[in-house]
Amino acid sequence: MTEEEQALSRPAIDIGHLMDQAPWSLLAKAYVFLAALAVLLDGFDNQVLGFALPAIIREWGVARSLFSPVVAIGLVGMAFGAGLGGIVGDRIGRKSALIGSVILFGLATGAVAWVHQIPPLLILRIIGGIGIGGVFPNAGALAAEFSPQARRPMAVALTIVCVPLGGMVGGLIASVMLPAFGWRALFVLGGAAPLAMAALLFGILPESPRFLARRPERKQELIALLKRFGHVFPAGIRFVDISEVSDSVKPGLSTLFTPIYRHDTFILWGAFFFNLFAVYSVFNWAPALLTSMGLDLANASRAVAAYNFGGVIGAVICAWLIGRLGSRISMVSMAILAAASAVVLSLLSQSHPDIRYLTIWMALHGLFTNGVNTTLYSLSAHIYKADVRSTGSGAALAVGRIGAIIGSFGGAALVDAGSHSYFIALAVALIGTAFCLSLIRRHIQRL
């Protein structure tokens, strides 16, 4: 018997079954929390330019339309970073890819504080965008793989919900820092915090056990990790991940187009495309739109913070609904309600709305829109198995960023066209999201 045959004859533990059937321990929740913190800072840095944009436009004395390429180039970087980050995460590990992404966007964001012209801002935004894009597929994969199957939708949703939470925190910070310290202070904070977070992740966060199970050379690292969870195994044990492996001999990007995944891959891309168009149109242009409607910078920042706060609540609600109704009816309904709330905002904006009513409807719009957005990551983690989970999520995000890029390029034109056109465009995109979600085959079933 060869050495390889002897190894294969040893007892094997299915790490996927072990993690899925185990209780969701406090330690596993702590690791999900660390991934969520990285996403929170990602969400802050993602939106910091939108908060600072009105102040930058005033200081530099340039037209709003000149910043459309700046906003869009960051999203081009995010699209590239999402695809690259997913592939790298499946190749070298989710932890390494996540830390590298956090460092990259932290350095690029912090450097913006010393910029005085548009060309260097363009360069830093695309670099920062690559880092921001690389965070999502790897943080989502870590959250999914440190959680039992029954808790996976909620774990991923609570991780990705930190994007609007980071934006909400950013809006509140911006409303205080912009009048007191100016826009450059926001970017200094947006650079320093991720670098501190990267050091924390390096020291505390372990690699995904499912990833380690597919790397025999890292067996001792996996054994040490499982020991923290109270699992002790004999020296000769083998680890496999039978339930979370695709049929492809060498899983990669091409696996997404095999018969098991092809239909849902394309439809999922469409859902991300339309949803991210709506989300990033608000992230990048809502402060400018609201100030053009007569709001001061502080109230505009608070209204966008309300949108993000609604997104936090919406993510929890939608994840809870998925557990009881399944993802199809929950996500499609939320997308339709998001479109309806955009229509209400378009009607409100035709007059001079009370800031209280405008803020409430911005919060409701954020609740429904981001409720869908955050649970799209849970749906993606469900559709793709562990060996292509980061790649599949990253590819969907990369295509979705195209929608965000179109929203960013067209955002200035929509703002110039008026609030009615702006909000109707959001409604149309969200109807597209609902339509795509209705066509997904491999939805999450109710518990």
Which tokens sit at 437?
Answer: 């979600």
- The whole-number pLDDT of residue 380 equals 87
Contact between 272 and 399 (Cβ < 8 Å): yes
Highest CATH level, class, for 3-439: mainly alpha
| Rg for the chain, CA atoms, rounded | 22
Burial profile 300-313: b = 16 or more Cβ within 10 angstroms, e = fewer: bbbbbbbbbbbbbb
Torsion of CA 434, 436, 439, 444, to 10 degrees: -70
- The whole-number pLDDT of residue 266 equals 94
pLDDT in tens, 346-374: 888 777 767 778 888 999 999 999 889 88
- The whole-number pLDDT of residue 243 equals 58
Dihedral sign for Cα 303, 304, 308, 314, please.
Answer: positive
Task: Give CA–CA dist 226/223, Å, rounded.
Answer: 5
Contact between 139 and 36 (Cβ < 8 Å): yes
- The whole-number pLDDT of residue 291 equals 78
Beta-carbon count within 10 A of 181 CB: 12
Domain coordinates in residue numbering, the chain: 3-439
Contact between 438 and 431 (Cβ < 8 Å): no
**Mean pLDDT over the full length of the chain:** 83
Outline where 25-161 has alpha helix (H): 26-60, 68-92, 94-111, 118-145, 152-160
End-to-end CA distance of the chain: 46
Task: Give CA–CA dist 436/168, Å, rounded.
Answer: 28
Which tokens sit at 420?
Answer: 């009615």
Contact between 418 and 312 (Cβ < 8 Å): no
Task: Give CA–CA dist 277/431, Å, rounded.
Answer: 12
- The whole-number pLDDT of residue 369 equals 93
- The whole-number pLDDT of residue 235 equals 65
The DSSP bridge partners found for residue 14 are 240
Q: What pTM value is reported for the model?
A: 0.74
* Stretches in the chain below the pLDDT threshold 70: 1-11, 16, 234-235, 241-251, 297, 353, 408, 412, 447
